[in-house]
Amino acid sequence: MAGTQTIVFSGAYIDGTWQGGDKLKSIPVVNPANGETVGEVSSCGAEQARLALEAADRAAPKWGNMSIDERAKCINAFKAKLIEKKDEILKCDIKETGKVTGNAEYDLNMLLDCLPYHVEEVRRNYGSVFPSPDNSAVSYTKHTPVGVVVAVLTWNFPLLNLAYKLGPILASGCTCVIKPSEETPLATCMCINLLSECGFPDGVVNLVNGTGLDLIEPLCHSKIPRLLTTIGSTAMGRRMIGYSASSIKRFSLELGGDSPVLIFADADIDHAVSDIVGLKYANGGQVCVSPNRVYVEKSVYQQVLDKATAKAREYVLGSGDDHAPKGEVLQPAISEAHLNRLLGLVEDAKKKGGRVLCGGKRADRPGFFMEATVIADANDEMAMQQEEIFGPIFPVRSFDTADEAFRLANQSEVGLSSYVYTKNVDTVLRAENELMTGNVLINGVHYSIELPHGGIKQSGTGKDISSLSLRDYFDIRRITIKRKAAS
């Protein structure tokens, strides 16, 4: 429950109530914009994971057998309750993430949008009829919920990540156990706490807070869940798969990104730079689809560097707690440890030939702020070109030919998103065919709820949002009815 000074959620949310908090240690939640503790949650372990899974398992038959109209009444009531508590949820989201206000609104609005969207997609989730060639039977497919889902969420967009999972879980008739990130659990807990007022059967949604070290193994190793899903790092996805072998399970995993950007000389350079710099510094660079490796054709390399640096210098540092900062606002890194990692990437780049054109330092103010940074002459030896940056660092290098550009873009073992800027139709068609990423975006950044989102290679499996996301949450059963044989 919420206190007046700090926000406290004690225990695990099981069967519609918070249970067992008096037996558990607590985890502090820190505001990255100022370093102050703003709340705490309980550090749950294997026992709470077991109880939550058993509650979800008990609730699965009742929730799964309800019609979509019956489920929609509960889901719509939940959305209404979220809107009623919107201001309180937004303030909580801002305090635990350091988000700017518009970014926090986007985070919450995705949850408000995903809930009804997936209800309507389930209404249109039609089966197929298979006529028998000899007219001896009628067969059709039926979609039934897979059952219990374990959803492990990361910290960069707490409510969007919740939305991408809870939307299809609830609409499909599945039940779940949610594990939020220990960095940003408060707004998620605040939302889940409202479910008990919305008519859901007990146990449909359960939540356990705590560290991945304490919870991932018992949640994934259990034989109860049928589907394991996460938005997180590739390392997290591998851990979940590794722990899961006690039974056959499904996976829907949106994992790490290492997004390449290809800017060709014939592109609209102003548009390309504005697009990519804006995406790079959004959410403090802590976005899975953020540009990570920017490749620019040599003849326009300096032009792109100059324009990108000028735009980076326009950013001011702040969060939703600040009083209307002017200009483009860059929010903080999520933690001291994450900020130090980013600063280490800059130092590594400098030692390996990178030129810091702007930023590269910790800001002289409270909180975990890093200045908007542009690195010229990036190369494959740099750590920031071998791993996901997840921060406000914009590394740029040049290329000579299209062959080189596509080779560089595809050399990563992960493949979530890629971006191409060109006016040449042949280059566009080559990008569409050759770039090995789940999302290929050409001449613009565009993400939307109706578009499937997910990666290939080591960026995971399955899709979030769009109608395709529901495939992971349903079993497709074939039903055959034999006709009575003619006498």
State both tokens at 60.
């699965």
Q: By CB neighbour count within 10 A (0-12 exposed, 13-18 middle, 19+ buried), where does 374 fall? A: buried
Helices within 150-201 (DSSP H only)? 158-172, 186-192
CA distance 244 to 75: 30
Q: Within 13 Å of residue 310, how many CA atoms lie on the same side as its CB?
A: 9
**Taking a C-beta distance cutoff of 8 angstroms, is the pair 153, 179 a contact?**
yes
Q: Which of 183, 288, 358, 388 is catalytic?
A: 288
State both tokens at 210.
């705590």
CA distance 351 to 412: 22
CA distance 265 to 226: 49
State both tokens at 384.
């920031």
CA 447 to chain centre: 13
CA nearest neighbour of 379 among 305, 306, 298, 293: 293
Q: Indicate if 254 belongs to the active site.
A: yes
**Taking a C-beta distance cutoff of 8 angstroms, is the pair 12, 18 a contact?**
yes
Which amino acid, residue 390? F
CA distance 65 to 60: 8
Which amino acid, residue 408? L
**Taking a C-beta distance cutoff of 8 angstroms, is the pair 275, 91 a contact?**
no
CA nearest neighbour of 406 among 440, 452, 455: 440
What are the start-end ranges of the E strands in 78-185?
129-131, 137-145, 148-152, 175-179
- What radius of gyration, in Å, describes the C-alpha atoms of the chain? 24
Compute the C-alpha angle 156/234/45, nearest 5°: 70
Q: Which of 40, 254, 371, 388 is catalytic?
A: 254
CA 484 to chain centre: 52
Residues with catalytic roles: 254, 288
